[in-house]
Amino acid sequence: EYLKDIQVGIKLILEEPTWALPAHYFTAKRTTDPSPDDPIIDLFAAETAAYLSWIKLLLSTKLNAVDPSLIKRIDAELEHRILKPYMQTDDYWWMGLNTKRKQNNWNIWINSNILKVAVLTDNDSTRRIAMIGKVIRSADQFLNPYPADGGCDEGPAYWAAAGGCLGELVTMLESISEGKLNWKSSELIKNIGTYIYKVHIDGARFVNFADAPAFTIPDPARVFNFGTLFNDEDLKSFAAYLAKLSGTEGQYLGTGSINSFANSIKSFKALNEVVPKAPMGDKYWLPTLQVLNVRNQSGSATGLSLMAKGGNNDESHNHNDVGNFMIYANGDPVIIDLGKGTYTKETFSSNRYKLFYNQSAWHNCPTINGVDEQQGPSFKAKNVSFAPGKTADMLTMNLKNAYPESASVKSWVRELTYNRNLKQIVLREQYELSKFLSPSSLQFMVCKQPTLVKEGLIQLESLSGSSKVFMQYNPTLFDISIEPKTLDDESLKSVWGSTVYRVVLTIKSSKLKGAHQITFK
């Protein structure tokens, strides 16, 4: 019924001068219009090639019956645009083979698609084996620097394209090698899988530091694949939980791409036999990534939840947000991280940190002597420690190094304590400046208009309006201002509405040393 439309679609794809996105084409130092004579492998060139490989596998007999030239044309284009370029150079930055550049989801996303092309379409067995070897060597450059805790500094929204693709790749390698290649004993790869439930808050709400939206649903099939790979029941149950969020009564099939559709078909029956459940441990601490996710009790979003980070300002999809934290009440955002805006040419340019939502002043971070955090690998938290307990958990860090020398700060120790007995979260800070230049301040981003109940007490409301949190501060130490911020970015508006608010507590004292505490309950 659809064969004619499929033929037309294939021909249109094959006629495209490049399968790379325009932005990726020109960042590859091309200055002319795209040309088939100058192929570039980017995320979407590799994914398009994988689509065509699936088509060849599934429809070659039917297509040959109506147009014998079409499969030959697919083979020719895959050879010219993907197979030869991949094997002829090590110079693509995302390969990690001839560069010191930090690897991210590009590496594993592209390599997982290249592997599909090699296995499904390359009839040259010698080259196919060489290609699989190169995929493994390149993927190692993604995996080897990964932190032992499995933390994805690209955030949960990128996990499917990063860790999720890694799980898919090692599963394919295990399958095509008939088990001779397997990574079932790799604690690191398992941790890369379990990361995704460790940053889960409730429903579709995840810890959204860096370029991550507050609401996202990771690909259930990729989560389930990790659960199957390591026989991890928590991952399997979490995949079923995500599938239920994604579809009607759990009857989920990923249709965003043929890759996700194929993965979903593979896991569909088993996934729907698993009881949906989010692990929701009472505390998850990722010591290398320096991300904390704690809640009142295991298995429930009831009460307060605290999410906080140390880290550095050179993370993938970075925001300047060392020391940032969020508070949710009954699974609903109160103290928020705005997350990412709509991607534009500014997002990945030298103007990235001119976008307000990438700046520390629009995160829950201090402004010290009138100076905000700065981007770069040397701007990071120091002396980070997490002390878990039965009734209280405490995260401590020194924020001094997240700021440039112009902030004139000797020490700025931030301590966040979650006290389950008192049902409160306490922010304590102790600081020392080398000189006073301008009043320092603390910023708190909130999604609903706060109410100043009285001096020293602010009522905060959750996004849905269903929960309230009271914020206590010492009015003798701080001046307070509440600033509305109109959101023009459609991505941000779709999550938070047209206006968010910033509570600013400005330190009154000009002394070089000081201490204070803010309580949320």
**pLDDT at residue 456 in the model:** 98
Determine which helix (DSSP H) or strand (DSSP E) holds 12, and give its type and residue range.
Answer: helix 3-15
CB 109 within 8 A of CB 166: no
**pLDDT at residue 255 in the model:** 52
CB 20 within 8 A of CB 42: yes
- For the chain, 521 residues long, give each residue's pLDDT as a single digit of tens: 889 999 999 999 999 999 998 878 766 666 677 888 889 999 999 999 999 999 999 999 999 999 999 999 999 999 999 999 999 999 999 999 998 899 999 999 999 999 999 999 988 999 999 999 999 999 999 999 999 999 999 999 999 999 999 999 999 999 999 999 999 999 999 999 999 999 999 999 999 999 999 999 999 989 999 999 999 999 999 999 998 898 754 455 555 567 667 777 777 888 889 999 999 999 999 999 999 999 999 999 999 999 999 999 999 999 999 999 999 999 999 999 999 999 998 999 999 999 999 999 999 999 999 999 999 999 999 999 999 998 999 999 999 999 999 999 999 999 999 999 999 999 999 999 999 999 999 999 999 999 999 999 999 999 999 999 999 999 999 999 999 999 999 999 999 999 999 999 999 999 999 999 999 99
Q: Which residues pair with 470 in a beta bridge?
A: 459
**pLDDT at residue 123 in the model:** 87
Q: Is the pTM of this model over 0.85?
A: yes
DSSP per-residue string spanning 177-192: TTTSS--TT-HHHHHH
CB 367 within 8 A of CB 409: no
**pLDDT at residue 270 in the model:** 85
Which domains, ranges and CATH numbers included, belong to the chain?
A: 1-145 (no CATH), 283-520 (2.70.98.70)
Query: Residue type at 138?
Result: S
